[in-house]
Structure 1
Amino acid sequence: MSNRYAIILAAGKGTRMKSKLYKVLHQVCGKPMIRHVVDEAGRADFSKIYVIVGHGANDVKAAVGKDAECLLQKEQLGTGHAVLQAADQLADLDGTTVVLYGDTPLITHQTIEKLIHIQEEQHAAAAVLTATIEDPTGYGRVIRDASGNVAKIVEDKDANSDEKRVKEINTGIYCFNNRKLFTLLRQVTNNNAQGEYYLPDVIGLLVQGSEKVIAYETESFEETLGVNDRIQLAAAGKYMQERINQTMMKNGVTLVDPASTYLSAECTIGNDTVIYPGTIISGQSRIGSGCTVGPHSQIKNCVIGDETQIEQSVLEDSWIGNHVQIGPFAHIRPLSKIHDQAKVGNFVEVKNTEIGERSKASHLTYLGDATLGKDVNMGCGTITVNYDGKNKFATKIGDGAFIGCNANLVAPVTIGEGAFVAAGSTITQSVNNNALAIARSRQTNKENYALKLNYRANH
């Protein structure tokens, strides 16, 4: 691995977000912004990644995990001061340092790598990532010299009329010769209206010292968008979703309406799977090939096999096999496991339950804390009575058992292999293999009794 380093600035609170959550922890397509940046940096060729933390330091560190080293900026005194927090680790090293931001979740490792490549190839002291936009109002302009190198970066409020017409803007992302960066950072002053130490001042010092500063213009301006408020957060989410959806479609997934399909940045979907509108697939869900999902389904942190059909249902933290049918209007709650060719039909709720191969719960059923063997039939309206108000209890149903409609299985209870439970039964004792269990009051008909009730008089 080369002597390349990344510094990600993530110390700001983000007051414009108007949130108790620190800015870089706000999610874009199901993942905190800081994680997007750390993950993309991790895909580039860096020897070490540092994250500068400040507000909410412990929470940000938790999100970063072991993928980068966090350095604390006790006082937020500007971007230059933030980068200086890595001086003890980097100032005496040869190599290249890229400065990124924890609130630019759309940056890609390809763009980072291109910026590094052009800076190293041209032996420049620094490279500035730029973009050209039609309306550059509010952005710092990149002014080039006759050779095409960077002559200066001028802020919008300080630009003259000619400079204001320049449409190439500074994105704030830089690649530096590491030693020169830290040498000049110590010369940056805070003689400005904000009393802060600004990283772009290093570019000015390099130019003054006749050092070569170049610009690399990205074709994807949206990659460089920073998020400062909820409006920009939504815009970043839209760009990210388009990117995710396009990647999925290029890999062989059919999205019937990409604009109304929401996929997390960490989910995977196999080829020839069809996703219908209104579907949300979140977390680290993994969906196999040839599946049909939706419309209007929600899947969170599930593993789903091949050729499975899910229609208008909600699935959470569960494992689903191949050729399974789920829905419409089913709810698969956490810790459930549904094996191949099983069916969970309309208005069926499953919680912490294992359903064996080819078993069916076709409609209006609750299965909680249960284990079903193979080829089990659960009749309409069947309930595993798993909770006594204090503790949860398990129900076990053997292979080939048939549970009639409207049965209550009062746990803890075991239904043996091949056993039958008559419709309307409330089972409180275990049933042996191949036995028939009937647990209901004997019917009594009282002739003409309805006449005595006189119900019809009011109709």
Structure 2
Amino acid sequence: MKSTTPKLLHSLAGVPILGHVLATARALGADHVVTVVRHERDRIAEVVSRELPESIVVDQDDVPGTGRAVEQAVEALPAGFDGDVLVVNGDVPLLDSDTLAQLLARHRSGAAVATILSALLDDATGYGRVVRSEEGTLDRIVEQKDAGPDELAVTEINAGVYVFSISPLREQLVRLTTENAQGEKYITDVIGLLREVGHEVAAVPVSQSWVVEGVNDRAQLSRQAARLNALIIQKWQLAGVTVQDPSTTWIDLTVTLAQDVTIKPGTQLLGATVVETGATVGPDTTLVDCEIGQEAEVRRTDGTLAVIGAGATVGPFAYLRPGTYLGAAGKIGAFVETKNAQIGPRSKVPHLSYVGDATVGEGANIGAGTIFANYDGVHKHSTVVGDEVRTGSHNVFVAPVRIGDGAYTGAGTVVRKDVPAGALAINVAPQRNLEGWTVANRPGSAAASAAEGAASDEE
């Protein structure tokens, strides 16, 4: 991945790659889940404990290879365990529980002591090949670096997913060696060893190869992300959500949408975002961990950890920072930024304003170009605006300050002290008009010419 972040911790639809695999393990209802770790052990183990606390974490020793990983995992199982062992890789995020359940059923219904998933690829370069006998049964698996010309021509590949009956597996794991091109213990060698002692093994191809595709670089990550996103969108569409342009819409697995929600083009719904019935989000909107109420509308907005009440409107070009709360039927309009702001029901901040560290009551209207000056260079302070307040355009509220219920403020007012309920706050500064200033100070300019022409017209 060429990254300081371990491969398995890169995000896919809001969940680490490994988290998808652990979720599948949980869905299968396994009696025991064993996660074998080595590279970036502590960071991986932390995610395992968060995503699947019941998983047993096993540290792989210095003996390399998948065979050694499985060997140590089996050693971690209770001594009396006699069920089937399902082996999956942590970097195959789209392998779903239905596919694995079918594999388990196929294994249990047949005579094979080992059953693997395989896939047919147009280009099998880099993968272990599934070599079948003349009768079409699984004979062995050959890794790319150990394959001869005939084996390299095979297009059926090993998907790296196995089901073993526990006793035969235990018997053959002890026979694994590192005598191969990579000097590793291969789990794939167990298949050949089982065949040597007369056991039956089987390979079951998946219908869609991308289900078992691993993630080894960022190009593969983006392909799998697009596939998963398409599945997520389809799920919501079938549940009654309108997604106008699936190709430009991204929805995390952790998002919750109600029926009759409309998602317009260019929208990203991320994290724990919840959108209630009848709300419209987009176009060109990104919401992270937000709550959008019924029938609300949010367009061309960037929001994080914000709550929008029922019937409220936001945007276009609004920036909702953490701690924003907009009450029912309220409005945050064009080019408004909010942070740690509680804006009450029916209150409006229509345009070109910053509202930070503030509480605004019900039914208030904040005039255009208003700034809540909440920072004195050292500390943050709060502003409280009461119910049914009307503030003029281009106001500055220098916190801490309180504006009482029903108060008004004049245009251009800088409010530095509390305004009583029902009062009008203005900054009294008489306007002076200096007659003839333009002609005297800007002679020859277009403005001076216009002023001289107006004077002549008046005469």
TM over 0.5: yes
Q: CA separation in 2, counterparts of 1:21 and 1:245?
A: 28
Aligned residue number for residue 81 of structure 1 = 68
- After TM superposition, the structure 1 = structure 2 runs for residues 183-194 of structure 1, keeping only pairs within 5 Å, are 183-194=171-182
Aligned residue number for residue 293 of structure 1 = 281
Q: Which amino acid aligns with 2:57?
A: C
**Structure 2 residue aligned with 1:210, among 195, 198, 202?**
198
1:25-60 deviations in Å (ceiling 9; x for gaps): 122233211111111221112122222111111111
Contact 2:119 2:157 in 1 (8 A): yes
Deviation at residue 165 of structure 1 after TM alignment: 5.5
Aligned residue number for residue 111 of structure 1 = 99
Number of residue pairs matched by the alignment: 442
Deviation at residue 20 of structure 1 after TM alignment: 1.5
Contact 1:53 1:70 in 2 (8 A): yes
Q: CA separation in 1, counterparts of 2:397 and 2:78?
A: 70
Contact 1:25 1:33 in 2 (8 A): yes
Deviation at residue 159 of structure 1 after TM alignment: 5.4
Contact 1:129 1:170 in 2 (8 A): yes
Q: CA separation in 2, counterparts of 1:117 and 1:379?
A: 67
Q: Alignment partner of 1:223: what SS?
A: helix
- After TM superposition, the structure 1 = structure 2 runs for residues 168-187 of structure 1, keeping only pairs within 5 Å, are 168-187=156-175
Q: CA separation in 1, counterparts of 2:40 and 2:144?
A: 31
Aligned residue number for residue 4 of structure 1 = none
Q: CA separation in 1, counterparts of 2:390 and 2:216?
A: 59
Q: CA separation in 2, counterparts of 1:76 and 1:430?
A: 73
1:286–1:227: structure 2 CA closer, same or farther, 3 Å change rule?
A: same
1:95–1:123: structure 2 CA closer, same or farther, 3 Å change rule?
A: farther
1:279-320 deviations in Å (ceiling 9; x for gaps): 122212111222222221111111212211111110011222
Aligned residue number for residue 37 of structure 2 = 53
- After TM superposition, the structure 1 = structure 2 runs for residues 386-397 of structure 1, keeping only pairs within 5 Å, are 386-397=374-385
**Structure 2 residue aligned with 1:444, among 428, 431, 440?**
431
Q: CA separation in 2, counterparts of 1:348 and 1:301?
A: 19
Contact 1:394 1:413 in 2 (8 A): yes
Deviation at residue 164 of structure 1 after TM alignment: 5.3
1:229–1:219: structure 2 CA closer, same or farther, 3 Å change rule?
A: same
| Structure 1 residues without counterparts, runs of 5 or longer | 1-16
Q: CA separation in 1, counterparts of 2:152 and 2:68?
A: 28
Q: Alignment partner of 1:369: what SS?
A: strand
Q: Which amino acid aligns with 1:191?
A: E
Aligned residue number for residue 248 of structure 2 = 260
Aligned residue number for residue 376 of structure 1 = 364
Contact 1:296 1:313 in 2 (8 A): yes
Q: Alignment partner of 1:35: what SS?
A: helix
Aligned residue number for residue 259 of structure 2 = 271
Aligned residue number for residue 450 of structure 2 = none
The range that moved more, 446-455 or 267-276, is 446-455
Q: CA separation in 1, counterparts of 2:329 and 2:304?
A: 19
Aligned residue number for residue 240 of structure 1 = 228
Q: Which amino acid aligns with 2:223?
A: A
Aligned residue number for residue 216 of structure 2 = 228
Deviation at residue 123 of structure 1 after TM alignment: 5.0
Aligned residue number for residue 455 of structure 1 = 442
Is 1:28–2:16 an aligned residue pair? no
Aligned residue number for residue 14 of structure 1 = none
1:342–1:119: structure 2 CA closer, same or farther, 3 Å change rule?
A: same
Is 1:42–2:26 an aligned residue pair? yes
Deviation at residue 80 of structure 1 after TM alignment: 0.7
Is 1:337–2:325 an aligned residue pair? yes
Q: Which amino acid aligns with 2:307?
A: W
Contact 1:54 1:76 in 2 (8 A): no
Aligned residue number for residue 457 of structure 2 = none
**Structure 1 residue aligned with 2:393, among 396, 400, 405?**
405
| Structure 2 residues without counterparts, runs of 5 or longer | 447-459
Deviation at residue 364 of structure 1 after TM alignment: 0.4
Deviation at residue 95 of structure 1 after TM alignment: 0.9
1:76–1:341: structure 2 CA closer, same or farther, 3 Å change rule?
A: farther
Deviation at residue 447 of structure 1 after TM alignment: 4.9
Q: Which amino acid aligns with 1:332?
A: L
Q: CA separation in 1, counterparts of 2:439 and 2:130?
A: 95
Q: Alignment partner of 1:399: what SS?
A: coil
Contact 1:280 1:299 in 2 (8 A): yes
Q: CA separation in 2, counterparts of 1:85 and 1:306?
A: 52
Q: Which amino acid aligns with 1:374?
A: E
Q: CA separation in 2, counterparts of 1:75 and 1:256?
A: 52
Deviation at residue 157 of structure 1 after TM alignment: 5.8
Instruction: Report runs of 4+ in structure 1 exceeding 6 Å deviation.
Output: none
The range that moved more, 440-449 or 223-232, is 440-449
Q: CA separation in 1, counterparts of 2:63 and 2:351?
A: 59
Deviation at residue 208 of structure 1 after TM alignment: 1.6
1:25–1:45: structure 2 CA closer, same or farther, 3 Å change rule?
A: same
1:358-390 deviations in Å (ceiling 9; x for gaps): 110010011001111111111101111100011
The range that moved more, 196-205 or 239-248, is 239-248
Q: Alignment partner of 2:69: what SS?
A: helix
Q: Which amino acid aligns with 1:349?
A: E
Q: CA separation in 1, counterparts of 2:204 and 2:352?
A: 61
Q: CA separation in 1, counterparts of 2:76 and 2:111?
A: 23
Q: Which amino acid aligns with 1:52?
A: V
Q: CA separation in 1, counterparts of 2:290 and 2:36?
A: 34
Contact 1:54 1:75 in 2 (8 A): no
Contact 2:146 2:180 in 1 (8 A): no
Contact 2:142 2:188 in 1 (8 A): no
Higher gyration radius (CA)? 2
- After TM superposition, the structure 1 = structure 2 runs for residues 196-207 of structure 1, keeping only pairs within 5 Å, are 196-207=184-195
Q: CA separation in 2, counterparts of 1:252 and 1:395?
A: 42
Q: CA separation in 2, counterparts of 1:25 and 1:377?
A: 46
1:231–1:76: structure 2 CA closer, same or farther, 3 Å change rule?
A: farther
1:125-180 deviations in Å (ceiling 9; x for gaps): 11101122333344333344577642222345655666556543210111111233
Q: Percent identity?
A: 38
1:198–1:446: structure 2 CA closer, same or farther, 3 Å change rule?
A: same
Q: CA separation in 2, counterparts of 1:335 and 1:399?
A: 20
Contact 1:386 1:394 in 2 (8 A): yes
Aligned residue number for residue 424 of structure 1 = 412
Q: CA separation in 2, counterparts of 1:231 and 1:395?
A: 49
Contact 2:128 2:142 in 1 (8 A): yes
Q: CA separation in 2, counterparts of 1:279 and 1:297?
A: 5
